[in-house]
Amino acid sequence: MKKLTHFPRHLQIFVSLLLALIAHSSRADAIVWSCSRSEPKQTTFEGIKAFRIENLTTKDTDTISITLLDLYGAYGGEVIQMGKNHLSVCSLPPKDPLQITAMELLGYTPEEFLKVSQPSKGALIFIPSIHQMQKCIHENHPAIGFLKNVVENERVAPCF
């Protein structure tokens, strides 16, 4: 009996730790930074695999190119110049758990993001849910946002 009363407590702690570990390690996987693409018919070098400074994607040249510095800047409220256009940033409401996770991945606290998410700052476009994210990224080209999975089609592609 003694063993039984102690063992579950240890087990409980172990399981809690394990769950916390799994939750923590899966966080980064929950966010895929995604960028808008030009219309495929406008692709200049279609079919050629290309490198990007700092970026992982091998897809190509119709996906907008931004650096990590731009990613931090964009979510920090800076205006990012893309040729003659400005980069748009599709965002969930500041208190949405997924938005909080994304900002934590960049090292921004919810309070910091709340500060920069005032209407006058940067190029943030707020959408009510993650289901509108692809549409937002596509319709506001050049734009960046995040998705829960890797999505790659004629509208968006992973960009980090």
Q: How far apart are CA 105 and CA 37, in angstroms?
A: 24
What is the DSSP pairing of strand 143-147 with strand 32-36?
A: antiparallel
Shortest CA distance to 136 belongs to which of 91, 96, 82?
91
Query: Is residue 125 within 8 Å of residue 88, measured between CB atoms?
Result: yes
Say how many residues touch another protein, by CB under 8 A.
46
117 contributes a contact to another protein by CB under 8 A: no
Ramachandran class of 145: left when φ > 0, alpha when ψ lies in -120 to 50, beta otherwise: beta
Considering only 2-10, 63-71, 89-97, 125-133, which stretch makes contact with another protein by CB under 8 A?
63-71
DSSP 84: T
113 contributes a contact to another protein by CB under 8 A: no
Considering only 4-12, 42-50, 114-122, 123-131, which stretch makes contact with another protein by CB under 8 A?
42-50
Among 3, 9, 47, 53, indicate the residue that binds another protein (CB under 8 A).
53
Distance from CA of residue 78 to its chain's centroid?
Answer: 17
57 contributes a contact to another protein by CB under 8 A: yes
47 contributes a contact to another protein by CB under 8 A: no
28 contributes a contact to another protein by CB under 8 A: yes
Cβ neighbours around 132 below 10 Å, total: 16
Q: Closest approach of Cβ 54 to another protein, in Å?
A: 5
Binding-site ranges for another protein (CB under 8 A): 21, 24-25, 28, 31, 33, 38-39, 42-45, 48-58, 60-62, 64-70, 72, 80-83, 85, 87, 105-108, 142, 160
